[in-house]
Structure formats: structure tokens, C-alpha cells
Amino acid sequence: MDPLACTVMPYPWGSRTAIAALTGRPTPSAEPEAELWMGAHPVAPSLVERDGARASLDAVIARAPARELGDDVVRELGPRLPFLLKVLAAAEPLSLQAHPTLEQARAGFADEEARGVPRAAPSRNYKDPSHKPELLCALGPFEALSGFRRVDETLRLFDALAVPELEPALAPLRASRDAAGLAATFRALMTMPDELRRRAVDATVAAAARASDAFPRERALVGRLAALYPNDVGVVSALLLQLVHLEPGEAIYLGAGNLHAYLEGTGVEIMASSDNVLRGGLTKKHVDVPELLRVLDFGAEAPAVLRPRAIDAHESVYDTPAREFRLSRIRVGGAVTRATRGPEILLVTDGAARANGLALAQGASVFVPADTKSYTLEGDATVFRATPNLHPTRDDG
């Protein structure tokens, strides 16, 4: 097993307390700490010690992929760690965003490569040819926007706000209360001329501030978003999305085409190892409206809140269709032995444990190579276990 030295990403929306407290450092931190990355993503690979020298995990895997990942993972997913594990700590909302399917990512990446768009260019949509399904499990109360809400609820919300400036954009949805109408309304909002957009956003903010018992959470969200992103169309388009509250241990799975934004809270996030993000507002970064519209799934239902399925007395798994990752939670009390499922990363989020004798404090993580075969956890701790998921429908029982 390899203890991981991991990078903290200092994005401005991050918390100054959550990740520092988890890893036993003083709070508040000197700068916002948004994400703790555990894995082999080339942007910020974790470091391990092998043969007396420190090396990046991606380099270690590249030297012996079959040993580190296992033959099955290399054959089916390629010679790289297929998932990236994070602790995400949002003190402010992230951008509205969506991720492409695998086919869309491959086509978009090939197109931008052929056109010579630099991979570091701000206007680049596809940094790699991979999709990016993801799962977030809340460590505390967590707020998010995820997927388009039911059309009847959306229209009830806009009727309660009663903003005349929005009616031209809402007209397609009122006329066609389905995915086509929703797509047309979203397109109309996203392509409003600047002056009309400013008036529509200002009028929406004013309407949300009026005293009313109708949709109090959505009204409060409008005010919060407008204070952070004045005149951003995302202040309005966010109202098309389902507002989700997670309690600790609950999760949401975000597949391709799901428009979403994390709003506030701390959670364990796992995803396919990709950096492909198409943004739709609440950001100063590049927004490519035509490409975003191409990848969004307007017909999908808003994802349900996931609760873990018990495998045995110690471990519960969050079921998803993703092949690149599987996230489970192990409650260690005494000794728990597990056979490896290919390469694994273990993260302690509460308490302390020992893994094959290696001491793991709260906030510590380790990489378990595929050739380790099995390990035993001891102590009193909550441990998140990240592995590939080559057979998503196979029963773990």
C-alpha cells in the first residue's frame, strides 16, 4: 500500500475550513481550499514513495500498468487509473455545467485537435477524449442543483415570480410542455441579447425578493446567485433545475447531459478521470452555448437521491452504471478484510484505522495496487473505498 500525498486545489469557491479540518491542519486556511485530489490525473497526480524515492502515481502506473491496475482493467479501460477521487468543499456555488457522453467527448476532442485548438486554451471544450460521469456523497448537509425539474413545477415557479421580461423565453415551454419546449426555452434564455438579459435578470431578482410563501428556497437562491454573479443568465436558468438537499451519507449520480451545480457543502466525489466540462452560467469561464445545447439531455428525469446498499455488516455501496468507478463506505469496527477489486484508493473520513498495519489518520488516503490481492482494516473509522466497476450489474452479495 502507498500512502498518498495529495494536492489541494485552491479554487475561489472553496471552503477555508472543511478540508483543513479533515486533514488535521489549522483553520481557517490561508486561501480557499476547494478540492483534495486523490489519484493519477495528470493535472495533479498524487505522490507515492517507491524504492526510496518519491514519484507521481501516474508515472508509477505507467511503468507497470498490469501490476498496478490488473489485467482486466488494462484490457477494458486502458493503462491508466480510470477514476479520480476527491473531497469537494464548496463555500460558494460552482458553475452550471454538464459533461458529454463518451462518443461526444471522442468526437469533440478529435475535432478540436484537428483544428489545432491548444489544450490549455480558455475556449477549449474537450481536454481529453473521455466522458465524466460522477458521484457525490455528502459528508454533511449538502445543497446542489441537479437535472431539469418537472415542467409543471417549473411553470408554477415562474408563475409565482410573475416576471413579464421572461415571458418571451418561457413561451416555447408554455406551448410545448415537454423536452422540446424545455430545450427551446433554455436556448432562448442562453441567447438573450445583453440588454434584454440584464433587464430579465434584474426583474427576476426583484421578484424573488418580494415577500411570498411560494418557493422560499428558490427565491433565496436567486438572491444568493445574483450577489455572486450579477447579470449572469445562470441566475435565471438555475430555476429550471431541481434543487437537491443531501443529508450525510446520501449521494447523487450525475450522468452525461445532466446540467448541475454544487451550491454548498462538503462531500466525497468520484468520477471518471476526465476534465471535460461544458459550462452554462454562474462563471467567468468560457461558455459555448451551441456545444452545451448539443450535449444536454432535456428529456431525462432529475436524478434521485441515492442511498447506499448494504453488502454486509461493514460495507455499503452506491450503485451506479459507471464502469470507471465504484464508491463504497466501510464502517471499520474491529477487523475487516477485503479482496481487492483492481486498483483501489482508501480514504479515512472519520476516526483512525490501520490498513495491513499501515496507520491511517482522519483525512489520510492510500493507493492499493491490484497485485496486493487483499488487505485488512482495523480500528474505529469510516473509510471510503474507490475501485473500478467493470461489471456494474453484478451482485456484490
Active-site residue list: 279
Environment class of residue 385 by beta-carbon count within 10 Å: exposed (0-12), middle (13-18) or buried (19+)? Answer: buried
Q: Could you tell me which residues are beta bridge partners of residue 326?
A: 387
Distance CA 188, CA 302 (A): 21
Task: Give me the residues paired with residue 384 across strands.
Answer: 329, 347
Can you tell me whether residue 194 is helix, strand or coil? helix
Determine phi and psi for 140, rounding to 5 degrees.
Answer: -150, -175
- Quote the CA–CA distance of 261 and 97 in Å, as a whole number: 6
What is the rounded CA–CA span in Å between residue 261 and residue 388?
25
- Distance between CA atoms of 182 and 151, rounded to whole angstroms? 8
Beta bridge partners of 238: none
On the question of a cis peptide bond just before residue 216, with omega within 30 degrees of 0, the verdict is no
Long-range CB pairs of 218-226, under 8 A, 24+ apart, other chains included: 218/157, 218/243, 219/161, 221/263, 224/93, 225/93, 225/282, 226/201
E runs forming strands in 78-176: 83-90, 96-98, 134-138, 142-148
Q: How many CB atoms lie within 10 A of CB 251?
A: 24
Please report the sign of the dihedral spanned by the C-alpha atoms of residue 182, residue 157, residue 263, residue 307.
negative
**Residue-wise DSSP of 218-238:** HHHHHHHHHHHSTT-THHHHG
Residue among 215, 217, 185 nearest 200 (CA) = 185
CA atoms within 13 A on the CB side of 358: 17
Give bridge partners of residue 334 from the DSSP assignment. Answer: 379
